[in-house]
Amino acid sequence: MAVKLIVSGKPEDFESELTILEFLNKKNIWVDMVTVEVNDKIIPKQDYQKVSLKENDRVETVFYMGGGMVDIKINEKLDIRGVLCPMNFVKTVLKLEQMQDEEILEVLLDDGDPIANVPRSVKEEGHEIVAVDKMENGFRLLIRKKLPLDPPL
């Protein structure tokens, strides 16, 4: 049975339900160069063969380059490894508030809850996740600051 997915905010039709791995193969996306988020939850790579995408699932793909992101100017850096939720998110938002629109913040995060929660929460605040890079001791997240469309009076 056909299934409609919301891919990067746009509806796309597929012939049937498929796993994340099948989705990436159909889109010709190299598994090692992407992090997949389904319905605002980052899916671990080891689960790509197990997790099935269902009708109206929201799928986001964030590309990264091992060894660092290329051609992206980093304006500010924040190392919050070892900082517990929700303080890691609070520190990220406070740093973003000090930055200009479109500037890039590099955030170093621990695996587990931090990488699962901070990117989702930052996106809910209206900012853009540019890239995610798995490191030996956590994750490197690049965030593009976005000003609200209608700033408060």
Known catalytic residues are 85
Query: Cα torsion at 37, 40, 120, 106 (round to 10°)?
Result: 10
For residue 99, count CB atoms less than 10 angstroms from its CB and return exposed for 0-12, middle for 13-18, buried for 19 or more: middle
116, 44 contact by CB (below 8 A) = no
Query: Which two tokens mark 110?
Result: 């621990």
Answer yes or no: are the C-beta atoms of 39 and 58 closer than 8 Å. Answer: yes
**Cα–Cα distance for residue pair 16/12, rounded to 1 Å:** 12
What is the residue type of 34? V
